[in-house]
Structure 1
Amino acid sequence: MANEQRPPLPPFTEQSARVKVQAAEDAWNTKDPARVAQAYTKDSQWRNRDQFITGRSEIIDFLTDKWQREIDYKLRKELWCFDSHRIAVKFQYEWHDEQGQWYRSYGNELWQFDDDGLMERREASINDVRIDPSDRLLT
């Protein structure tokens, strides 16, 4: 079986790290769990807030639940730093709950990639802030 690849591949340069970050932002903004999960290794390990997730199946379940709760989700990511196989990003996203309360979520992610450009580890720390709809930045 041929290896799956997700360019750009490590080792990262500043340019290729920026491309990787933009690709992640674009994919997450589709809110398509199956599409997003293809960027991760089959046994990818995540820590997302207080949840620990392993593998594409759990990633798909997690993202499906997330985007059912986080309505009208819109994300922006920014490269923080990188090395040969790792990228750190800061991000913010906005969403509202079923009652119409808007939030802006701020966070940092640490990503580690295999040689084929698939993410094998994701560590995410995220804080949510209630906002007024008039304070939205991401539309």
Structure 2
Amino acid sequence: MTETTHAIRPPTPPFSREDAIVKVRAAEDGWNERDPAKVALAYTTDSRWRNRDEFLHGREAIVAFLTRKWQRELSYRLIKELWAHTDNRIAVRFAYEWHDATGQWYRSYGNENWEFDRSGLMAIRHASINDLKIVESARLFHWPQGRRPLDHPGLSDLDL
């Protein structure tokens, strides 16, 4: 596991359930802001990712990946939920809604496994994701671009 001494990203391991929930919500909030350079700061400089069929290494690769992602996945809205945690690992399930350039809507479902260094930066991220075409009227994630409001239902509340 990578050790990063120049940045601390609380909460740091070992994670309590409450810490893990804070970490999950912070990740959700960051991704919903869709700023690749800012999001990448939550990861170690040499973070390793598997996202679907892509394998990334390092923050520069993360920034490039997220830039491409959010150019393709328009009107992106994400909800994450804690699934499980240990001392320095967190598992989440998530869903996000988006449309492509043709206007076709999707709901993407997935699971992520995260491993953190001592300073609270994510060193490893494994994501498995499936896309489901939906019609616009089937959308469930309705809030202005950015952070999901606290009163908006989560995944379990939406039976997802």
Same fold (TM over 0.5): yes
Number of aligned pairs? 139
CA distance in 2, matches of 1:126, 1:136: 18
CA distance in 2, matches of 1:130, 1:79: 25
Identity %, equivalent residues: 61
Tell me what 2:34 maps to. 31
Tell me what 1:5 maps to. 8
Superposed CA offset, 1:73-130 (max 9, x none): 0000000000000000000000000000000000000000000000000000000000
More strand by share: 1
Name the SS of the counterpart of 1:18 in structure 2.
helix
Question: Structure 1 segments of 4 or more deviating over 2 A?
Answer: none
More helix by share: 1
TM-score, normalization by structure 2: 0.86
Inter-CA distance 70–23: structure 2 relative to 1 (3 Å threshold): same
Aligned-residue CA RMSD in angstroms?
A: 1.0
TM-score, normalization by structure 1: 0.99
CA distance in 2, matches of 1:27, 1:68: 16
Tell me what 1:90 maps to. 93
Name the SS of the counterpart of 1:75 in structure 2.
strand
1:99 aligns with 2:102: yes
CA drift at 1:2: 5.4
Tell me what 2:121 maps to. 118
Tell me what 1:53 maps to. 56
CA drift at 1:3: 2.0
Unmatched tracts of structure 1, length 5 or more = none
8 Å Cα contact 2:5/2:119 also seen in 1: no
Inter-CA distance 53–2: structure 2 relative to 1 (3 Å threshold): closer
Unmatched tracts of structure 2, length 5 or more = 143-160
Inter-CA distance 2–80: structure 2 relative to 1 (3 Å threshold): closer
